[in-house]
Copies of this chain bind each other. A is one copy, B any other.
Amino acid sequence: MKSSFKRYVIGKPLRSDALGEQKLSKTKALAILSSDALSSVAYGPEQILIVLMTVGTMAFWYSLPIAAGVVILLVALILSYRQVIFAYPHGGGAYVVSRENLGVNAGLVAGGSLLVDYILTVAVSVSAGTDAITSAFPSLHAYNVPIAIIFVIFLTILNLRGVTESASILAYPVYLFVGVMLLLIGIGLYNVATGQVPAELHPKIGTPVAGISLFILLKAFASGSSALTGVEAISNAIPNFRNPAPNNAAKTLLAMGAILAVLFIGIVSLAYFYGVAPTAEATVVSQLAEASVGRNFLYYIVQGTTAMILVLAANTGYSAFPLLAVNLSKDGFIPRIFQIRGDRLGYSNGILMLGIAAIFLIILFDGATEHLIPLYAVGVFIPFTLAQTGMMRKWWREKPKGWVARFTINTIGAAISFIVAMMFFVTKMPQVWPVFIFLPIIIFVFHRIKQHYQAVGEQLRLNHEELATIEGNVFIVPVAGITKVVENSLHYAKSLKVNKVIAFYVAFDQADAKAFEEKWNAWQPDVRLVTYYSPYRSITQPLIKFIDKVEHQCTKTGHKVTVVIPQFLPKKGWHHMLHNQSSLLIRTSLLFHRNVVIMTVPFHLSK
């Protein structure tokens, strides 16, 4: 039943050689890998205006040069990650670039930040999308957390069903959002161009503003740059592209950059011309939609697709996290389980882990994950800076043809990313300090895991040492009564013709011990019975004591001790509750604490 339910939800397993069919075309890849970056259009411009508003609405004209700055950073990042894609065509993005060029620890800082960041992406964007939906239907507001959790579960299942399937479904809303935004910007700019928007609405560009400072401008720039999170996702997810993967990934990256730049500049300009100021009641996009097209059908489409893109932004995390995890896992820094392909050929453990962690965060913050946004932005700009610095180092060392241009691009990217990251630390320390705690912890854990894998590898490697010859075998059969289960086990043990079979019985009182011995000797005179009295009613302790004693003797003669456990298996699952199953406890205890072979002889009940 469990397996048919799984098959219904996830779909039927795919053969390993069907992997090629699970690769993405550029259009589909753009949809699922750019949703995070594109969704930033819905809140990035607003972030800039919120900072400028602390000086006054007169300062709003600064949003235009700031947006230009953000687009410059965007161009630098896009060009730079394009170089990453060709230089590291097997994916891995910032982690691989930093590891290769700046050393393992730099790689781990980048990888660890991104790993945490994708979890934050899912939690933050699903919560934001849920908020947008419940704002429209206030009666649902009390159910924010369960609704967000349902979205996470939906995305998790969709991704477990495989990357092509999720891309096919998610492509529609993403392109719809892009189309609607372009339409909105088009109508708005047409209105501006035809003079339907009064010029008094906005301060002239260049108006001097009292109280403006470089600090505020940089802060506004850093806030606006949070729109660039998600730009790195494509470089992590190259293996998901159809061949030639690097070329397709690079083209997709350029397309994403172009769309993002147009939408970002468009919304910022429109907001400037319409003189829109962020309020608690309505978002900038909502106000723009109302001002340019009125509260009609199109307005609701804008609102609906915006809410949807916020939820779907989470999907970028689902695409990039499992692939980053595979890279970290292959290097032995996180558990191997992340390398296993699931039924639908996706790295299902990474997908599940991401979903569970995001649900945990949503519950922990009671759905109010907006406090996590600065943390999340820092978590992106640290790997951005590291990746670009890594690329600089690479060009400097290898000096391939035309390296100066490449080096320049990466230097600009690194410098701006570094400034943005620093701005976050300077202006938002109260929210970003956890980074200084969890990053060292994560890196410590990464190293511990790696150490363990290395230690295990060494211990498992054949070293041509001869194993001690086993001179003979002694079997111990713990028995709880005179039953068919025991008969069955003894019958099997005898068939192996070992040197000695000893039955072992634990009695809870002396009379019982004597009675049992008599019955035993009548039944199995050829199998020696040893009885221990257990004053504290434990079965495992006397057994372990006896095993230790036998083992001590056997070591001298080169004999090996094996414990043969008679176990009956009830027919139905609920029957297990009705049996104490001491045999399972005994087995676990022996397996972990003693170096004896454990043999389970099953006796299946037929009813």
Copies of this protein chain in the complex: 2
* A485 interface contact, C-beta 8 A: yes
Q: A455 touches which one: B14, B488, B595, B607 (CB < 8 A)?
A: B607
Q: A537 touches which one: B341, B498, B577 (CB < 8 A)?
A: B341
Q: Hey, what's the 0/1 contact readout for A576-594 against B, CB within 8 Å counting as 1?
A: 0111100000000001100
**Contact indicator A449/B602 (Cβ below 8 Å):** no
CA distance A535 to B35 in the complex (A): 33
**Contact indicator B536/A343 (Cβ below 8 Å):** yes
CA distance A13 to B599 in the complex (A): 31
Q: Chain B nearest CB: distance from A216 CB in Å?
A: 44
* A487 interface contact, C-beta 8 A: yes
* A491 interface contact, C-beta 8 A: yes
**Contact indicator B491/A462 (Cβ below 8 Å):** no
* A570 interface contact, C-beta 8 A: yes
* A340 interface contact, C-beta 8 A: yes
**Contact indicator B602/A599 (Cβ below 8 Å):** no
A15: nearest chain-B partner, CB-CB? B535
* A461 interface contact, C-beta 8 A: yes
Q: A491 touches which one: B455, B470, B498 (CB < 8 A)?
A: B470
**Contact indicator B605/A455 (Cβ below 8 Å):** yes
Residue with the highest number of chain B CB atoms closer than 10 Å, among A16, A461, A485:
A16
A349: nearest chain-B partner, CB-CB? B580
Please give, as numbers and ranges, the residues of chain B lying within 8 Å of A462 by CB-CB distance: 482-484, 487, 523
CA distance A439 to B403 in the complex (A): 83
Q: Hey, what's the 0/1 contact readout for A474-510 against B, CB within 8 Å counting as 1?
A: 0000000111110110011001111000000000110
**Contact indicator B560/A16 (Cβ below 8 Å):** no
* A335 interface contact, C-beta 8 A: yes
**Contact indicator B467/A487 (Cβ below 8 Å):** yes
CA distance A600 to B595 in the complex (A): 11
* A2 interface contact, C-beta 8 A: no
Interfacial residues of chain A within 460-474, with CB under 8 A of chain B in the complex = 460-463, 467, 470, 472-473
* A606 interface contact, C-beta 8 A: yes
Q: Chain B nearest CB: distance from A69 CB in Å?
A: 45
* A17 interface contact, C-beta 8 A: yes
**Contact indicator A536/B16 (Cβ below 8 Å):** yes
Q: List 15 A-B contacts (CB under 8 A).
A: A16-B508, A340-B537, A341-B537, A452-B578, A455-B605, A460-B485, A462-B487, A463-B484, A467-B487, A470-B491, A470-B492, A496-B498, A569-B592, A591-B602, A600-B600
Give me 15 other A-B pairs in contact (C-beta within 8 A), A452-B578, A569-B592 excluded: A15-B535, A17-B535, A335-B579, A452-B570, A456-B605, A459-B484, A459-B607, A467-B487, A467-B488, A470-B492, A470-B495, A473-B495, A591-B600, A596-B602, A597-B601
4 shortest A-B CB distances, which residue pairs?
A470-B495, A460-B483, A15-B535, A599-B599
